[in-house]
Amino acid sequence: MRDDIDVLVHEVGPRDGLQSIQTIFPTQAKMDWIKREAAAGVPQIQVGSFVPPKNLPQMADSAEVVRRSLEIPGLTVSALVPNLRGAENGFAAGAHQIGVVLSVSEAHNMSNVRRSVAESLDGFSEIVAHRDADDAYKDIVLSGGLATAFGCTIDGKVEVSAVMRVAEEFLKRGADRISVADTVGYANPKQVRDLFDELYRTVGDDVPVGAHFHDTRGLGLANAFAAVEAGVRELDSCLGGLGGCPYAPGASGNIVTEDLVFMLEGMGLRTGIDLDGLLAAREIMERHLKDEPTQGSFVTAGRPLGFEPATAAA
């Protein structure tokens, strides 16, 4: 990680946000959003997902969005892939980081991708082999994502030991980093701290570990704080909390990027991000929304009088 930031905020809105709403953003709208947010200092953006267009038409232009995002100086461009086919396309497009996610909960993984966890891990190994077979791909960072790590809507409780097993398998098979997700918004901050404490004991302090929280039950930022306290230095978030589906009021989106950055900067942790720039990016994003609601508190409340962000103004 860059040495001028303390926590890497990984914007996932163009992927997780957009795939959760009805509106399909034109490619240019995605690029306007991505460029403005990168200009605000966001160091890494997940710009798309390499899935069959019939499954997620919102993501059909991911190759082009990756290619155009690569032209933005200093931005780390990430994308998600579900399998080897997707990885081949993501690698070819040139993404710096490719995320592969499986659900720690067997029932959730089966329901999502019709594979056991073991089969999904084998699929991850194929992706690693594909990268390692081509020298042109050697710098691509492969991220192993652990969904439903804090609980599952089908299985309920998910054992910490199961999370540890999958994390170790990912690393054994060649993951450069792992990302732990509260996919369904079940986590509480004590659980978060305990799980990351155990994870660092299990995999060591040198493995880059990210966290991905949803704010479904209002605890998203409390969980983010707990993760940071436990040592996590990479957090996913979504500008405006995009992704709360208007047809399912309980299905809230990711934690809100601008609220997260406000929290971290106030705590003295440098994100490299300018809050006013984030609000400008949010406006651009919101112009293209139809009925989808956005979330967030900082956008209405603004900065406290005398607020001093950790990241010095440019």
DSSP string, 193-220: HHHHHHHHHHH-SSS-EEEEEB-TTS-H
> Which of 3, 306, 312, 313 is close enough to bind a copy of itself by CB under 8 A?
306
Distance between CA atoms of 62 and 48, rounded to whole angstroms? 5
Tell me if 221 contacts a copy of itself by CB under 8 A: yes
Tell me if 151 contacts a copy of itself by CB under 8 A: yes
Stretch touching a copy of itself by CB under 8 A, among 4-12, 19-27, 110-118, 292-300: 292-300
Q: Is the dihedral of CA 126, 129, 134, 139 positive or negative?
A: positive
Binding mask 158-187 for a copy of itself (x = CB under 8 A): --------------------------xxx-
- In 3D, which of 166, 301, 151, 143 has the Cα closest to residue 236? 143
Q: Which two tokens stand for residue 44?
A: 């890494």
Distance between CA atoms of 283 and 281, rounded to whole angstroms? 5
User: How far apart are CB 221 and a copy of itself at their closest, in Å?
Assistant: 5
**SS3 string of 181-197?**
EECCCCCCHHHHHHHHH
Tell me if 86 contacts a copy of itself by CB under 8 A: no
Which is nearer to a copy of itself, 141 or 154 (by Cβ)? 154
- In 3D, which of 227, 167, 174, 220 has the Cα closest to residue 197? 227
Binding mask 42-81 for a copy of itself (x = CB under 8 A): ----------------------------------------
Catalytic residue check, 245: yes
Tell me if 267 contacts a copy of itself by CB under 8 A: yes
Binding site for a copy of itself (CB under 8 A): 151-157, 184-186, 188-191, 215-219, 221-222, 224-226, 249-250, 252, 256, 259, 262-263, 266-268, 296-298, 300-302, 304-307
